[in-house]
Copies of this chain bind each other. A is one copy, B any other.
């Protein structure tokens, strides 16, 4: 059994950019000698999130529209009163989706479905650089 830490460095294009990181995660696993285990993908930061989705242009609009229904951009947020950075909705959305995703792999392959991709979602209101942590555990 072994634990290995890898990092993915991303440059997001701005609010609601959804980046397909499936191949990068698969590559990180392939570069280790671990055959079977889990990878915990984690976002350090409180305005980004991770999930899986069928990565096609329609859903890249539909998912953000759902976020706009549950945490609209143009309502008042108490967060704004302290920080004046206009991203109260970003924080609320990120905390609901969550910063962590754990995926099994077997014989070096992630157990994803064919139409299921791993995505990082930029929820902050501008382009950012992000360093995602991959903690790979297995044997």
A interface, CB within 8 angstroms of B? 1-3, 5, 36-38, 40, 42-46, 51-54, 56-59, 61-63, 66, 69-71, 77-83, 88, 91-92, 94-104, 106, 111-113, 115-116, 133, 135, 137-139
Q: A80 — nearest CB in chain B belongs to which residue?
A: B58
Give chain B residues whose Cβ lies under 8 Å from the Cβ of A61.
Answer: 78
10 A-B pairs (CB sep. < 8 Å): A1-B1, A3-B139, A42-B104, A42-B111, A52-B99, A53-B95, A56-B82, A62-B78, A104-B135, A137-B137
Q: Are A96 and B137 in contact (CB under 8 A)?
A: no
A52 to B62 alpha-carbon distance, docked (Å): 24
